[in-house]
Amino acid sequence: MSASQPPLSPRSPQPPESGEDTGTPTLLVKIFGKDRPGITAGLFDTLAAYSVDVVDIEQVVTRGRIVLCALVTAPAAGGATEGDLRATVHSWADSLKLQAEIISGTGDNRPRGDGRSHVTVLGNPLTARSTAAIAARITATGGNIDRVFRLAKYPVTAVEFAVSGTGTEELRTALATEAAGIGVDIAVVSAGLSRRAQRLVVMDVDSTLIQDEVIELFAAHAGCEDKVAEVTEQAMRGELDFEQSLHARVALLAGLDASVVDKVRAEVRLTPGARTLIRTLKRLGYQVGVVSGGFTQVTDDLKERLGLDFASANTLEIVDGRLTGRVVGDVVDRAGKARLLRSFAEQAGVPLAQTVAIGDGANDLDMLNTAGLGVAFNAKPVVRRAAHTAVNVPFLDTVLYLLGITREEVEAADGLVG
Ligand SMILES: [Mg+2]
């Protein structure tokens, strides 16, 4: 067999590799009006009489109005004319009270520029002013908005812009500045197949997966919550070395009856959207883990209850039914969290570039920056500024939108399982 490719036939709709305009006459047919079943079928049925080929189709329905764009080859010479096609399409559209516009031209769509990214915007609400600012900033980086669609209307408005023509990092930096100024959350991820590939999501626990700081729950039982909260705040702001602060806080718990472990487990409140996030990720075949500067006495329970794949934390030492005020083994600190992310990724067989880390504290920063996508979740300003992206709405399931998963997909999956 010859290694050379057979020549393309003159009628072949194959776009050239370079994306250059072939010069083939094409017609852009745009239909707009009240949506109802059968419009798409009706348009193509009408066009079929002219034996044209379909080059591209885009359709959106917004509040009951359809915009349907069909790019087709012009009728071949020798048969019916372009004028005949125009007349037929307009007559069909008129009969359905739709507006039709037909624009002559040549070739396919302009090829999309190099460098493709997905920009997810979470607004609560999303204002016209914010949307204008984001679009202007994308344009200023040299990017072009190729497509826009809504991912979710609940619990926040989430829209995704497909952008080409500019680097993901450049776009991320430019939009991070914009997001902080206008009070919306913006995530920028590189487009491509890896977005659809299996992933590993690793979360911090205290004030991320759960609304509480576990050590403060223990401290309440020991009657030293004020002292502990003070040290926690300092550590989270990055003003204290995490390991020293951990030892100092755990020491305050010395002598506490071990039965409080069960009480604390019962007191833990999951963050809104946590179950939805984990359930959806698991259904998609993702692996999910937690790393915590808190305690295995709580994270092991969460792992079992939520069906997590990985969990790692510090372990409170318990001797003769009482907390000793010490932790056992190596401390999970800022560097430890990043190490655990690498280790989970290796065990899961997922490249680091396809990992997602979510956290709120300064001790999450190494982990957030090690992951392919680091999400600062309702984080302290120092963390927000250093992470790839920030989510500042109090719903953990909004992270799904950053991964391009729509609310409809989440609900459809829930419906299937019942
Ligand atoms: Mg935390």
* Within a domain: 393: no
Q: Are residues 121 and 58 in the same domain?
A: no
The number of distinct structural domains making up the chain is 3
- Amino acid at position 257, single letter: D
CA of 143 to the centre of ligand 1 (A): 35
Strand pairing class (373-377; 287-295): unpaired
Active site residues: 204, 206
* Within a domain: 407: no
pLDDT in tens, 96-126: 999 999 999 999 988 888 889 999 999 999 9
- Amino acid at position 140, single letter: A
* Within a domain: 311: yes
Q: Under DSSP, is residue 157 helix (H, G, I), strand (E, B) or coil?
A: strand
pLDDT at 7 over 50: no
Q: Are residues 42 and 146 in the same domain?
A: no
Q: Are residues 268 and 367 in the same domain?
A: yes
* Within a domain: 316: yes
pLDDT in tens, 244-282: 899 999 999 999 999 999 999 999 999 999 999 999 999
Task: Check: CB of residue 359 under 8 Å from CB of residue 373.
Answer: no
* Within a domain: 7: no
Task: Check: CB of residue 133 under 8 Å from CB of residue 121.
Answer: no
pLDDT of residue 205: 98
CA of 289 to the centre of ligand 1 (A): 14
CATH number of domain containing 125: 3.30.70.260
Which of 350, 383, 378, 381 shows the shortest CA–CA distance to 368? 383
**Distances 136 to 18, 125, 131 between C-alpha atoms, Å:** 29, 19, 9
Task: Check: CB of residue 289 under 8 Å from CB of residue 200.
Answer: yes
Q: Final residue of a domain: which of 48, 72, 106?
A: 106
Strand extents, DSSP E, 40-156 = 54-62, 65-73, 99-106, 116-123, 144-152
CATH number of domain containing 370: 3.40.50.1000
Q: Under DSSP, is residue 409 helix (H, G, I), strand (E, B) or coil?
A: helix
CA within 13 Å, CB half, 244: 7
Q: Under DSSP, is residue 359 helix (H, G, I), strand (E, B) or coil?
A: strand
Strand pairing class (310-319; 322-328): antiparallel
Q: Under DSSP, is residue 266 helix (H, G, I), strand (E, B) or coil?
A: helix
Quick count: other Cβ atoms within 10 Å of Cβ 321?
Answer: 8
Q: Final residue of a domain: which of 196, 216, 239?
A: 196
DSSP state of 228: H
Task: Tell me how far apart the alpha carbons of residues 344 and 338 are, in angstroms, rounded to a whole number.
Answer: 10
Edge-to-edge strand order for the sheet containing 200-203? 322-328, 310-319, 287-295, 200-203, 355-359, 373-377, 389-391
Q: Are residues 258 and 169 in the same domain?
A: no
Range of the domain at 321: 201-387
CA of 204 to the centre of ligand 1 (A): 6
Q: Is the peptide bond before 125 cis (omega within 30 degrees of 0)?
A: yes
pLDDT in tens, 324-339: 999 998 899 999 999 9
pLDDT of residue 194: 67
* Within a domain: 288: yes
pLDDT in tens, 181-215: 888 999 998 887 666 677 999 999 999 999 999 99
Place of tokens 């092991």: 300
CA of 409 to the centre of ligand 1 (A): 29
pLDDT of residue 164: 95
CA of 360 to the centre of ligand 1 (A): 5
CA of 253 to the centre of ligand 1 (A): 20
Q: Are residues 272 and 234 in the same domain?
A: yes
Q: Are residues 186 and 333 in the same domain?
A: no
Q: Under DSSP, is residue 180 helix (H, G, I), strand (E, B) or coil?
A: helix
Q: Are residues 71 and 210 in the same domain?
A: no
CA of 413 to the centre of ligand 1 (A): 29
* Within a domain: 169: yes
pLDDT in tens, 360-386: 998 899 999 999 999 999 998 888 888
* Within a domain: 396: no
CA of 207 to the centre of ligand 1 (A): 5
pLDDT of residue 22: 67
pTM of the model: 0.85
Which pLDDT band, with edges at 50, 70 and 90, does 1 fall under?
A: very low
Q: Are residues 222 and 266 in the same domain?
A: yes
